[in-house]
């Protein structure tokens, strides 16, 4: 799904950058340019970051319990 129409950035592009160490919107802006034009993608990008963190936290907790 496209998150940033101005730059043609998809959710998968954002997830890939998060996998490679991006931690916040500022990092994603530097790496991909997300949020650098009209800004309408910022809310969706922040939601993706939060979902990513939540998923990673749950994975870490499940891994530690095993």
Q: Per-domain residue ranges for the chain?
A: 2-65
pLDDT tens-digit profile of 6-29?
999 999 999 999 999 999 999 999
Task: Return d(Cα 35, Cα 57) in angstroms, integer.
Answer: 26
Q: What is the DSSP letter of 2?
A: E
Of 57 and 27, more confident: 27
> What's the mean per-residue pLDDT of the chain?
89
pLDDT at 24: 97
Which tokens sit at 5? 């129409």
Look at strands 2-4 and 9-10 and give their pairing.
Answer: antiparallel
Q: What is the CATH number of domain 2-65?
A: 1.10.10.1100
Above 50 in pLDDT, residue 63?
A: no
Label residue 21 left, alpha or beta by phi (over 0 means left) and psi (-120 to 50 means alpha): left
Above 80 in pLDDT, residue 62?
A: no
């Amino acid at each position: 799904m496209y998150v940033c129409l101005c730059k043609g950035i998809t959710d998968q592009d954002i997830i890939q950058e998060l996998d490679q160490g991006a931690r916040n919107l500022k990092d994603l802006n530097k790496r991909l340019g997300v949020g650098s034009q009209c800004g309408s993608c910022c809310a969706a990008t922040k939601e993706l970051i939060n979902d990513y963190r939540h998923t990673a936290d749950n994975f870490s907790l499940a891994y530690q319990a095993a």
